[in-house]
Amino acid sequence: MTIRVVVVDDQDMVRSGFAALLSAQSDIDVVGEAPNGRLGVEASRNTHPDVVLMDVRMPEMDGLEAARRLLDPPPGVAHRSKVLMLTTFDIDDYVYEALHAGASGFLLKDAPVAELVQAVRVIAAGDALLAPSITRRLIEDVARRRPVPRPNTRLRLNGLTPRESEVLLLVAGPVE
């Protein structure tokens, strides 16, 4: 299976370089390029790629807004590409916004070529991928936000009166 890709980046040399690197792979076909998010959305809607390689910061429409539009298409648009965000800027807000928009991956532009190619393959296969430095920071962030311990449900149920327990069982329905 050939992976169809659209490359969206406002820097011509970067966009062309990514397209050339990906096109050199036997299983990847670059079906479109665009210099901004607005044209990237248009190119994606016309070519139906599996993966859109999307820069974050661009004129006219940034990559985050373009990702939102691709991943939440208007009624009547059936095709939904997967989005791999790329940026030079290692900023957590971009990562959170991209993930919230539904992007499947986030890489920094200084990633090795092999990592970029593998990311396209991973995302095309339906998996998700984050740059290792981003993954580390997300794990640290989640660890800092320890969940508030919840009281044991069984202990709370033991505090019910017999009539409250009877009503609860009736509301819950038969257990099969």
Three-state secondary-structure class, residue 53: strand
Neighbouring C-beta atoms of residue 89, cutoff 10 Å? 10
pLDDT digits (tens, 9 = 90+) for 152-163: 655 667 778 888
Give the pLDDT confidence score for residue 128 in this predicted structure.
92
Confidence of residue 166 (pLDDT cuts 50, 70, 90): confident
Give the pLDDT confidence score for residue 168 in this predicted structure.
77
Give the pLDDT confidence score for residue 170 in this predicted structure.
79
Three-state secondary-structure class, residue 57: coil
Give the pLDDT confidence score for residue 149 in this predicted structure.
60
Q: What is the mean pLDDT of residues 96-100?
A: 89
Name the residue among 125, 107, 103 with its Cα closest to residue 27. Answer: 125
Give yes or no for residue 176 having a pLDDT over 60. Answer: no
Give yes or no for residue 28 having a pLDDT over 80. Answer: yes
pLDDT digits (tens, 9 = 90+) for 51-92: 999 999 999 999 999 999 999 887 888 888 999 999 887 777
Distances (CA, A) of 141 to 105, 106, 131, 149: 18, 17, 15, 18
Give the pLDDT confidence score for residue 45 in this predicted structure.
94
